[in-house]
Chains A and B, each alone.
Chain A
Amino acid sequence: MSTHALFSIREFLGVLKHSKHGKMGLALLAVPLTMALFADIISPYSPWERTGMPFEPPSIKHPLGTNDIGQDLLSELIYGSRISMLVGFTAAIVTVLIGVIIGLIAGYFGGIIDEILMSITDIILLMPGLPLMILLAAFLGQGYQNIILVISIIAWPGVARIIRAQVLSIKASQYIEAAVAIGASSTRIIFKHILPQVLPLALANIVLRIGGAMIAEASISFLGLGDPTQKSWGMMLYWAQRTGALSYGAWWWIIPPGAMIVISVLGFTQLGYAIEEWLNPKLRGR
């Protein structure tokens, strides 16, 4: 594992630029990130306005056609990137945050605290994840904040386990023993010595989990538990299914949102690999 105590953003970008996975990831993410950042500039119409006839096939006026109520699908796709990315990012950050806190506490304090926390972790890991997400989403109600919450509740145990394992190995090292010997407090040891070493791993986990969170958001939305007031790629597919886009052969409605999900998930996975390689050089050249 890495011994980098802290890392700078510049070093991080340098790593991405020099790795094959990193370059690939950045290239893939260029499209969805541009969409999300500049939606109001590049979008031809407002995705909430009816600018055409229902179920129009692609034309110069509407490059990806229109939906069942005549809204422009390209604009919907561009604006949809925002919620899809936002949910993916936030859910991954919250997931890793919970995982790091639980993993740190369990690994550092050990004993009964560790046992209780790890039992909870195991129980959640053993439950069927997607059905549990659907269940919680159904009870919490529609709203993208709830989707973020639901994804994080289900996903943190995986992170907690990884972090705990690393905390255990750091704790066994001599300088922690030395720190304890000179009378450093637990808080000092955790924040000064352990946390900085866990951070790169936590960062890699955030990036690696964005993709999974985006697929989870799409699945929950597709089942009709998404936020009906927001546009996301998952919601586009939900409406396509609900209004029978398939029976019209409306490929222009079905293919683009899923393709954007695939591109984004692939992009984040590649970035995650680049960071993992940087942490663990043994993986290079795989």
Chain B
Amino acid sequence: MGFKEYMIKKIISRFFVFFIVVSLVFILPRLLPGGAFAYLIENPNIPPETREELIKSFGLDQPLHIQYIRFLHNFFLKGDLGISFRYLKPVTEVIMEALPWSILLVTSSTIISFTMGILLGAYSAAKRGRVADSIITNSVMVFRSMPSFWLGLILLLVFGYYLGWFPLYGAYTYGAEYSSFVEYLLDVLYHLTLPLITLVLIQMAGYTLFTRNTMLDVITEDFIVTARAKGLSERKVVYGHALRPVLPPVITVFAINLGFSVGGALIAETVFSYPGVGRLMYEAVYTSDYPLLLGIFVYISAFTLTAITVAEILYGWIDPRIRRG
């Protein structure tokens, strides 16, 4: 299969998954008894005019197949996912306000944990059987067994509450006035530190272990034996030769794990009251704001599916053998 053909095939099949996601979001509230719309119909706090407008906006007065077509039309052509029960404005608008914060947190933590995990795993494999290896492997195992929100709570307790080094909530100081953009940026980074450390510590664990174990398989192969026989230093053997074939499988694991890392990040947001999509999702669950909850799921899916597809395309570009499958 050529690269172009491979790429198109991946994009189409991943888009199909996204289509299923959108359909699921249509079906779920209509399928389950006493589901999403019961709240809408019964809630006495919503004024009658708004209620009628809401019912109309969801097209609940029409037959199911018409509703479905309208739903797809509204979403794919207008990006419209309905109106949030709580904010009483378009779901997309509400999500867009929170999205940049989540993207900042998820992207920075993913890049840092991915890079550090690979390096730490390679280092651990190079030092296999020694003290450094067992310290790394064991501590990484502990972090992998932790719920991300609990690690977040502990860090907040120690560095926020007891030591007072970092803020207890938020993504920036509320009501602060900044004299320059740099000052604003520093404030944002200051607030980002604890959530970022939480996510890096948790996400790094999987990459470290996986890199280490894949590398231990590679290290017994002939070309490594040859490299050693040539008299190359252990450092060059490990980072120059053995690391390269390890990267493609690590990228695959990265793609597979992404959905879960994003989920972990969203839950960590609630601990730090970080104003991202995860915090919004928590509020949506808490206030039974179903359109918002469903909309958030659509956006998260779009984000992870895009990232997975990009990873897969990169992988196919690096390693042509993959395209055969």
List chain A positions with a Cβ less than 8 A from chain B. 122-123, 125-136, 138-140, 211, 215, 218-219, 222-225, 234, 237, 240-241, 246-247, 249, 251, 254-255, 257-258, 261-262, 265-266, 269, 286
Closest beta carbon of chain A to B39's beta carbon, Å: 11
Closest beta carbon of chain B to A283's beta carbon, Å: 9
A135/B293 in contact, CB under 8 A: yes
CB neighbours of A286 from chain B (8 A): 213, 216
Nearest residue (CB) in B for A138 is B285
Cα separation A286 to B160 with both chains bound (whole Å): 39
Closest beta carbon of chain B to A90's beta carbon, Å: 19
Task: Kindly identify which residue among A135, A223, A258 contacts B154, using a CB–CB cutoff of 8 Å.
Answer: A258
CB neighbours of A123 from chain B (8 A): 17, 20
A131/B296 in contact, CB under 8 A: yes
CB neighbours of A247 from chain B (8 A): 161, 168
B304/A128 in contact, CB under 8 A: yes
CB neighbours of A222 from chain B (8 A): 147, 149, 267, 270
List 16 A-B residue pairs with CB atoms under 8 Å apart, sorted by A's residue number.
A122-B17, A127-B21, A127-B259, A127-B301, A131-B259, A134-B263, A136-B28, A138-B293, A139-B29, A139-B32, A219-B148, A246-B168, A249-B157, A258-B153, A258-B154, A261-B147
- B35 interfacial by beta-carbon distance below 8 Å: yes
Cα separation A226 to B27 with both chains bound (whole Å): 23
Mark contacts of B11-49 with chain A using CB atoms, 8 A cut-off: 1 yes-contact digit, 0 otherwise. Answer: 000100100110000001100100110000000000000
Nearest residue (CB) in A for B257 is A129
Nearest residue (CB) in B for A258 is B150
Cα separation A56 to B168 with both chains bound (whole Å): 23
Closest beta carbon of chain A to B18's beta carbon, Å: 9
B149/A126 in contact, CB under 8 A: no
Please, how many residues of chain B have a CB less than 8 angstroms from a CB on the other chain?
54
Task: Using known A-B contacts A135-B294, A139-B29, A237-B153, determine if residue A215 contacts B147 with beta carbons closer than 8 Å.
Answer: yes
CB neighbours of B285 from chain A (8 A): 134, 138, 223-225
Task: Kindly identify which residue among B156, B263, B286 contacts A131, using a CB–CB cutoff of 8 Å.
Answer: B263
Nearest residue (CB) in A for B267 is A219
Name A's interface SS. Answer: helix
B157/A128 in contact, CB under 8 A: no
A254/B154 in contact, CB under 8 A: yes
B157/A254 in contact, CB under 8 A: yes
- B256 interfacial by beta-carbon distance below 8 Å: yes
CB neighbours of B156 from chain A (8 A): 246
A130/B266 in contact, CB under 8 A: yes
Task: Using known A-B contacts A134-B285, A139-B32, determine if residue A258 contacts B146 with beta carbons closer than 8 Å.
Answer: yes
A131/B32 in contact, CB under 8 A: no
Cα separation A127 to B259 with both chains bound (whole Å): 7
Contact residues of B between 285 and 306, Cβ < 8 Å to A: 285-286, 290, 293-294, 296-297, 300-301, 304-305
Query: Which of A133, A135, A251, A262 has most B Cβ within 10 Å?
Result: A135
- B117 interfacial by beta-carbon distance below 8 Å: no
Closest beta carbon of chain A to B149's beta carbon, Å: 5
Cα separation A30 to B304 with both chains bound (whole Å): 39
A261/B146 in contact, CB under 8 A: yes
CB neighbours of B149 from chain A (8 A): 218-219, 222, 237
Cα separation A42 to B317 with both chains bound (whole Å): 60
A262/B146 in contact, CB under 8 A: yes
Query: Which of B14, B271, B285, B294 has most A Cβ within 10 Å?
Result: B285
CB neighbours of B144 from chain A (8 A): 269
Nearest residue (CB) in A for B263 is A130
Cα separation A131 to B280 with both chains bound (whole Å): 12
A258/B260 in contact, CB under 8 A: no
Closest beta carbon of chain B to A120's beta carbon, Å: 10
- B246 interfacial by beta-carbon distance below 8 Å: no
Contact residues of B between 142 and 176, Cβ < 8 Å to A: 142, 144-151, 153-154, 156-157, 160-162, 168
A140/B32 in contact, CB under 8 A: yes
Closest beta carbon of chain A to B142's beta carbon, Å: 6
A224/B259 in contact, CB under 8 A: no
Task: Using known A-B contacts A135-B28, A237-B149, A258-B147, determine if residue A129 contacts B263 with beta carbons closer than 8 Å.
Answer: yes
Closest beta carbon of chain A to B289's beta carbon, Å: 10
- B219 interfacial by beta-carbon distance below 8 Å: no
B267/A249 in contact, CB under 8 A: no
CB neighbours of B293 from chain A (8 A): 134-135, 138
Cα separation A157 to B276 with both chains bound (whole Å): 30
Contact residues of B between 230 and 281, Cβ < 8 Å to A: 256, 258-260, 262-264, 266-267, 270-271, 281
- B141 interfacial by beta-carbon distance below 8 Å: yes
Closest beta carbon of chain B to A225's beta carbon, Å: 6
